[in-house]
């Protein structure tokens, strides 16, 4: 699936560090990047906060029916196969 962003977030780290961040740990993370999984999670949270502050929203990814099924439908198909 192609990413369909309606905004440019190529320099979000610089913008967040300069305008919204005053935490030393966060500034270091924004400048040097993550070195562990927990730092990557924190960086993702900072990115989501930056998007919220700027008013950007992700495109709607709701399931439009292409993968919908029910358990009742499944059981009716496979009830005679010994499952």
No. of H helices and E strands in the chain?
4, 0
Q: What's the CA gap between 22 and 25, in Å, rounded?
A: 9
- pTM for the predicted model, two decimal places: 0.66
pLDDT at 10: 87
The residue whose two tokens read 């935490």 is 23
Q: Which of 46, 10, 11 is nearest to 28 (CA)?
A: 46
pLDDT in tens, 48-81: 999 999 998 877 666 666 666 777 777 787 776 6
Residue 50: CA count within 13 A, CB half-sphere: 23
Q: Which of 32, 30, 1 is nearest to 18 (CA)?
A: 30
Q: pLDDT > 70: what percent of the chain?
A: 78
- Average pLDDT rounded to a whole number, residues 41-51: 94
């Amino acid at each position: 699936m192609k990413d369909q962003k309606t905004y440019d977030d190529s320099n979000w780290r610089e913008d967040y560090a300069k305008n919204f961040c005053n935490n030393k740990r966060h500034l270091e993370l924004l400048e040097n990047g993550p070195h562990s999984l927990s730092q990557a999670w924190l960086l993702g949270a900072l990115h989501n906060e930056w998007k919220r502050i700027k008013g950007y929203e992700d495109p709607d990814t709701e399931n439009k029916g292409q993968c919908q099924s029910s358990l009742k439908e499944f059981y009716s198909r496979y009830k005679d196969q010994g499952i």
